[in-house]
Amino acid sequence: MEDKQLQREENAENAITVEHVSKVYKLYDKPMDRLKEALKLTRKQKYREAHALSDISFNVRQGECVGIIGTNGSGKSTILKIITGVLNPTGGSVTVNGRISALLELGAGFNMEYSGIENIYLNGTMNGFSNEEIDARMQDILDFADIGDYVHQPVKTYSSGMFVRLAFSVAINIDPEILIVDEALSVGDVFFQAKCYHKFDEFKKMGKTIMIVSHDLSSIAKYCDRVILLNQGVKLGEGSPKAMIDDYKRVLVGQYEFPQSKAEQNLLNDAEVQEAVQTHAAAQKRARQQPEDGSTQESKTLEYGTKQAEIEEIYLTDDRGIRTNSILKGLMFQINMRVRFYQDLPAPIFAFSFKTAKGTEITGTNTMFEKAFLEPVKAGDVKEVCFTQKMSLQGGEYLLSFGVTGYEGDDFKVYHRLYDALDVTVVSDKNTVGYYDMDSIVVVKNVAL
């Protein structure tokens, strides 16, 4: 009894509670098969099952900003549609506490024959507002959308950018307690995107709840408190943006150690699949955590790859050639790596990238971009690679990652990759706005009147 009471109290603090949600679609080879089954004219199963979601569970606490990432077809949009009530789950339940406003795919909730103004009233009415309440918000909606006289034209004449401006403006100005956005902002121009993300900051300060689905990993890292990683309808894990983005990148290059192949997963029930996934995610989390006995930096490094090549040594040198992890801003420095090859490879690519402590990638390059090395290598070769550049990042702490990759035909291969392998401190007596210093030369002149 006490456990049920405690669970009710925890759910009350959650804006969204998703419990064991599954979504299964029936796929028919022919329309006639669907009709026969609907009319019960056959006892033979005429469909194949497609599992869009398998036993998904998570909570979103009030005031949190949570991101959902994953490859195409992983179930991101499906779970958002279930949360917002657009779809019904096949199994499980969703509880939402608060007024919800969603910006899903383009066209959702809009009548294409209506004008922009008519669609504003339509959406407001659907969200429970009276015409007087919509009138009070109308100017704010029009100002944010900033599409001019087009608001009086049918939305079917709008460009995709104009459409998303109006849709997002409506979504944020109906006073939601929970805002859900599914990749739609990628359509708008850079100025509109900046305005939207500024609105996200305002919502977070006001204690509103936000859920974002996006392939823009830098935005996920910057705005989200927590991230959920999905793949092929299964939750691979949830945690800090940095940890989940690292796992997602491993999924993208086929280096994530899944608990079972998809074919084998189909032989298991949802509970078994989820248990295996959660066990693996817990092991990955333990591996990423720093031990209490004063671990070395290598213990925190995430590495993977085919190991056809191996990065044996990495280090930085300053403008005097001295090895160091502290670089003075404005001076030249070198990033060094030594790589051993175990197989003949057509044209390996050597790379590095800088990230913030939160996982936002700032800058980086590789030998293919620089056109510095486009040669084959032999098994047993050892290459020393040195990137020389000026340190123009702002003062602070950064993480440096390394990689050896390449193309074999049309296939991209990761031979060895080290994420967050070095902690780099940039020492500066002058910091400007953002991550990068433009090294501006300023001239101020008197003007004769």
Residue pLDDT, tens place only, 383-425: 999 999 999 999 989 999 999 999 988 889 999 999 899 999 9
- Report CA 233 to chain centroid distance, whole Å: 16
State the average pLDDT for the chain. Answer: 83
Each residue's pLDDT tens digit, 311-326: 999 999 999 999 999 9
- The whole-number pLDDT of residue 34 equals 77
**Do the strands 209-213 and 178-182 form a parallel or antiparallel pair, or are they unpaired?**
parallel
- Look at residue 382 and tell me whether its pLDDT is greater than 70: yes
- Which class for 5: exposed (0-12), middle (13-18), buried (19 or more C-beta within 10 A)? exposed
Helix (H/G/I), strand (E/B), else coil: 247 = helix
Angle at the Cα of 309 from the Cα atoms of 304 and 312, rounded to 5 degrees: 80
Closest CA to 92 of 18, 4, 16, 3: 18
- The answer to whether the beta carbons of residues 341 and 309 sit under 8 Å apart is yes
Each residue's pLDDT tens digit, 106-135: 566 788 899 999 999 988 888 778 888 889
Residue with tokens 């709840």: 209
Q: How far apart are CA 174 and CA 163, in angstroms?
A: 17
Question: How many residues comprise the chain?
Answer: 449
Confidence band for 193, pLDDT divided at 50, 70 and 90: confident
Q: Which two tokens stand for residue 106?
A: 């383009």
- Look at residue 289 and tell me whether its pLDDT is greater than 50: no
Q: Going from the N-terminus, what domains does the chain have, and what CATH number goes with each? A: 14-98+177-242 (3.40.50.300), 301-427 (2.70.50.60)
Residue with tokens 């849709």: 167
Q: How far apart are CA 436 and CA 422, in angstroms?
A: 19
Q: Tell me which of 12-21, 123-132, 375-384, 430-439 is least confident.
A: 123-132
Each residue's pLDDT tens digit, 249-263: 888 877 777 655 443
Closest CA to 357 of 222, 212, 238, 244: 222
| pTM (two decimals) | 0.73
Tell me the mean pLDDT in the region 293-299.
37
Q: How far apart are CA 21 and CA 19, in angstroms?
A: 6
Tell me the mean pLDDT in the region 133-145.
89
